A = this chain, B = another copy of it.
Amino acid sequence: MLLTPGPTAVPPEVLEALSRPVLHHRSPDFKLLFGRVQERLRAVFETAGDVLVHTSSGTGAFESALVNLLSPGERVLAVSSGAFGERWQAMARALGCDVRELRYPWGAVPDATEIEHAAADSGATVAVLVHSETSTGVVLDLEACAAAARSAGALVVVDAISSLGAVPLRTDAWKLDVVVTGSQKALMTPPGLAFVAVGERAWAKSREATLPRFYWDWERARAAQAKDNTAFTPAVSTVVALDVALELLLGEGLERAFARHVALGRSARAGVKALGLELYSPDDDSAAVLTAALTPDGVDAVDLRLSLRDRFALTVAGGHGDIVDRLFRIGHIGYVDVFDVARALAAIEVLLGEAGREVEPGAGVAAALAAHENAAAV
């Protein structure tokens, strides 16, 4: 059982769809399906514009944003407060851009006013924002931060890889120029597909951008998708699975899914604190994607994760960087309910007890369920 912030657990209906005989991507059946998938993606992105489909991980789709928007040496502002923000800085540099960093310490929450100043001072034409920093659990105020970058004249590219479908992201209403996500997070599908919503300002800019591109070329993708086709052989079985997963998500309703994730965040935080652990992710409702916590002195987070896996068949995510020995992350996006969170808390309680920590039996689960009930009542 996966309680990670991606890949996430996949519903059985989606796994079943994945295992159907393979469709041919040039067949009428696939066209019909792919037209529907494109409609559903637009609904989840809350956009009337294009959502391009790449067969790649989210990192690949992010590269498509940079190579379609930028020319060699062009200035980019990349905001980071964790591993993924730093990855986009490294990527933009590797692709030959002039990267200006607004680099926060890991776990900090980027601030809109600071972003506006940094964008204006740098004169960057493109600003890169990480909506949900999966390495730390921080979800920034995207509407405000994007408006700040835009008001300084920058196009806004959003890493929404672990946020889309989990927390509100309104592509058109918030005037987001480019939004990138992957199949394997709140979209409840195995990894292998990634999606890029491209707005009008981004299309205009892409026509002048000269970074070399072929596989990632947006025009080629748009031309094919206009005929419910793809430029290159897509991961067809994953598209079939995605169709089912998007139907489930839209059937639940986006607003209800967002409320569920807020409630799951409250549950996980309440439970973690009741177990006497220190929170690393923010202690507020913004932290609806994952709950990151630090193990107490004498309890190694790597050992804890391996024991959860070996003894209880439960996978949570580890830490990055300096705090790999202390940090673990419970993902609660996608196909997750409060009893999944409770199961993880119960298992962690067992392991903490065996490590000699004093924990009141059942305290984590009780706190999680109580917090969830309160959230549901709101």
Whether the Cβ atoms of B192 and A6 lie closer than 8 Å is: no
Chain A interface mostly helix, strand, loop or mixed? Answer: loop
With A4-B24, A6-B233, A233-B7 known as contacts, the answer to whether A215 contacts B318 (CB < 8 A) is no
Whether the Cβ atoms of A234 and B24 lie closer than 8 Å is: no
Report the Cα distance A309→B317, complex, angstroms: 45
Residues of chain B within 8 A (CB-CB) of A18 are 18-19, 237
Among residues of B, the one whose C-beta sits closest to the C-beta of A23 is: B7
Whether the Cβ atoms of A56 and B55 lie closer than 8 Å is: yes
With A7-B24, A215-B63, A217-B94 known as contacts, the answer to whether A234 contacts B57 (CB < 8 A) is yes
Whether the Cβ atoms of A190 and B235 lie closer than 8 Å is: yes
Cβ of A90 within 8 Å of any chain B Cβ, yes or no, is yes
Cβ of A15 within 8 Å of any chain B Cβ, yes or no, is yes
Among residues of B, the one whose C-beta sits closest to the C-beta of A96 is: B212
Residues of chain B within 8 A (CB-CB) of A317 are 24, 26
Q: Quote the shortest CB–CB distance from A168 to chain B (angstroms).
A: 24
Residues of chain B within 8 A (CB-CB) of A237 are 18, 190-192, 238
Cβ of A120 within 8 Å of any chain B Cβ, yes or no, is no
Tell me which residues from 1 to 59 in chain A have a Cβ below 8 Å from any Cβ of chain B. 1-2, 4, 6-10, 15-16, 18-28, 55-59
Report the Cα distance A15→B237, complex, angstroms: 10
Cβ of A123 within 8 Å of any chain B Cβ, yes or no, is no
Q: Quote the shortest CB–CB distance from A142 to chain B (angstroms).
A: 22
Tell me which residues from 221 to 254 in chain A have a Cβ below 8 Å from any Cβ of chain B. 232-238
Chain B CB within 10 Å — which of A1, A22, A95 has the most? Answer: A22
Whether the Cβ atoms of B232 and A59 lie closer than 8 Å is: yes
Size band of the A side of the interface?
35 or more
Residues of chain B within 8 A (CB-CB) of A27 are 309, 315
Residues of chain B within 8 A (CB-CB) of A212 are 72, 94-96, 211-212
| Contact among B16, B25, B184, B238 for A233, CB-based, below 8 A | B184
Whether the Cβ atoms of A25 and B2 lie closer than 8 Å is: no
Among residues of B, the one whose C-beta sits closest to the C-beta of A183 is: B235
Among residues of B, the one whose C-beta sits closest to the C-beta of A182 is: B233
Among residues of B, the one whose C-beta sits closest to the C-beta of A161 is: B233
Name A residues whose Cβ lies closer than 8 Å to a Cβ of B: 1-2, 4, 6-10, 15-16, 18-28, 55-60, 63, 72, 90-91, 94-96, 182, 184, 190-192, 211-215, 217, 232-238, 306, 309, 315, 317-318
- A7-B23, A60-B232 are known; give 5 further A-B pairs, CB within 8 A: A4-B24, A55-B191, A72-B212, A192-B238, A238-B238
